[in-house]
Amino acid sequence: MQYNYKVPCQKKRLVDIRYFINEVLKKHLDSEIDINSLVLAVDEVCANLMIHSHQCNPSKCIELFVKIENEEIIFEIRDTGNGFNFKEYKEPSIEDIIIEKKKGGLGLILVKKIMDHIEYIENKNSNIYRLRKKLAIR
C-alpha cells in the first residue's frame, strides 16, 4: 500500500504533514507510541528540509511517500533543495547542547534512534530521504 502527500515548504504546513502521517499510520498500526514516534521522526526530517534546504520558501515543495509492505513502513521524503547526507552528520553530544544552550540539535538524534534504517539518495534533480521501520502491521 502506498500513500503520498505534497506540501509547500512553510513551517505552518508541518501540522498538515503530522496529520497525514498520523491518519495513514492509524490504518495499519495499533500502538499509539509507535505512531507518535514515527510522526515525530518524519516531522523532524521535513522541518529540517523546509528550514535549512528551502529557507521556508512556499514556492518550493517537499513530497512525502509512505509505503507499507512486508511488515515494514518506508517513508520517502523527496525534494529539490540542498541535499543533506545523514551519514556525514556529526551528532553533538547532549552535554555540548546543554553547555552551549543551543536551541535544537536533537532532531536528527531522535530520528536515528526511532528509525531502523536511514538512507540518503542524491539524484541529478532531486534528493530522497528514506526512513525504514519494521513493525507489526495489521
- Give residue 123's pLDDT band: very low, low, confident or very high (50, 70, 90): confident
Cell of 25: 499510520
* DSSP letter (8 states) at residue 101: T
Residues 71-80: what's their mean pLDDT?
96
Domains observed in the chain = 2-134 (3.30.565.10)
From residue 113, alpha-carbon distances to 38, 85, 118 in Å are 11, 17, 10
Cα gap 117→17, rounded to integer Å: 21
Q: 121 pLDDT band (50/70/90 cuts)?
A: very high
Region 50-62 average pLDDT: 94
Q: Looking at the predicted structure, is the pLDDT value of residue 57 above 70?
A: yes
Record the cell numbers describing residue 63, joined without a space. Answer: 513530497
**More confident site: 112 or 20:** 20
Instruction: Look at residue 116 and tell me whether its pLDDT is greater than 90.
Output: yes
Mean pLDDT of 98-120: 78
Read off the pLDDT of each residue in 33-58 and give the average, rounded to a whole number: 95
DSSP-assigned letters across all residues of 47-68: HHIIIIITTT-TTSEEEEEEEE
Q: Please determine, for residue 100, whether its predicted confidence score (pLDDT) is greater than 70.
A: no
Does pTM surpass 0.75? yes
Instruction: Give the mean model confidence (pLDDT) for residues 5-18.
Output: 97
- Asked if residue 135 lies in contact with residue 35, where contact means CB atoms within 8 angstroms, the answer is no
Q: Is it the case that residue 86 has pLDDT exceeding 60?
A: yes
When the pLDDT of each residue in the chain is averaged and rounded to a whole number, the result is: 89
